Amino acid sequence: RLYDQLELRVQERTTELTQVNQQLEQLTTELQRSNQELEQFASIASHDLQEPLRAITSYTQKLAQRYQGQLDEKADLYIGFAVDGAIRMQQLIQALLTYSRVGRQKLKLEPTDCNAVVNKVLRDLRVAITENQATITVAPLPVLEVDPTQLSLLFQNLIGNAIKYRSEAAPQVHISAAEQGQETKSWHFSVRDNGIGIESQYTERIFTIFQRLHTSDEYPGTGLGLAICQKIVENHGGQIGVESKLGEGSTFSFDIPGSRAIHE
């Protein structure tokens, strides 16, 4: 009799677990569908907005060039606001398209020299590096099976932010990577800076789309850079995070799991 009771109890538990798993699978499917629909909407909306916004930007810039100084000060000010607003909207749309594209495109994995990727990013950022008198140091990085285009965008955002959110001292940025794990290997990358830092309560919020800790007047940007970084890292099966102290700088770290170094 005791055996029968135990068997019945096991069957009940098994049924409950099966139902819970089915519910979880359904919720996961619905969440994936919602994310796909959101990314598709963002892509279509951004694409359709580009052409009319391009016209608005062009005509407001022509208006500013032609009538600058010929009207009163308020008119010049208002035209300036219109031009700045149109340009900022263009930047937002481009960033939104990038965010959507990163989420929808299939990874193109290939042997990628991370040193070469970072060096190209540094060449692209040379104007900002020179203007801010930034010092960038790079430890030896591995060659991994990753998507080189997405990895480049990831480093561009992280290094660009390290320069942008500088303190009074000249920016110092160090990039490194280390292999971790015994059975399940992964590569742990870090981008460390001596910038303004981040308060601890905001270290998760900054990876949310359109979440900014500063106004665009203080630091120009779209509020999408770190959200794009997170999506890229997640595409590769990893996680990204930050350790920071206000006024002392930040270290952004991300993992690329299951990656085997072809050579270092």
CA separation for the pair 210, 40 (Å, rounded): 18
Kindly report which listed range (2-6, 160-164, 194-198) carries the lowest average pLDDT score. Answer: 2-6
CA separation for the pair 251, 129 (Å, rounded): 18
Tokens of 199: 């308060």
Would you say domain 110-257 falls under CATH 3.30.565.10? yes
Residue 183's pLDDT is: 66
At 243-255, the pLDDT tens digits run 998 888 999 999 9
Identify which of 195, 207, 202 has the alpha carbon closest to the alpha carbon of residue 169: 195
pLDDT at residue 146 greater than cutoff 60 = yes
pLDDT at residue 45 greater than cutoff 80 = no
Element (H, E) at 18: helix 2-67
**Beta-carbon neighbour count of residue 131 at 10 Å?**
9
Residue 103's pLDDT is: 75
Would you say domain 10-104 falls under CATH 1.10.287? yes
At 156-179, the pLDDT tens digits run 999 999 999 888 999 999 999 999
Find the mean pLDDT for residues 80-85: 84
Residue 46's pLDDT is: 63
Which carries the bigger pLDDT value, residue 238 or residue 184?
238
Which carries the bigger pLDDT value, residue 70 or residue 32?
70
Residue 123's pLDDT is: 95
Residue 51's pLDDT is: 75
- 163 close to 171: Cβ distance less than 8 angstroms: yes
CA separation for the pair 47, 63 (Å, rounded): 25
pLDDT at residue 230 greater than cutoff 90 = yes
- Residue 134 DSSP class: -
Residue 218's pLDDT is: 62
Boundaries of every domain in the chain: 10-104, 110-257
At 20-30, the pLDDT tens digits run 888 888 887 77
> What is the residue-averaged pLDDT of the chain?
84
Which carries the bigger pLDDT value, residue 237 or residue 260?
237
Residue 154's pLDDT is: 96
pTM of the model: 0.71
Element (H, E) at 137: strand 135-138
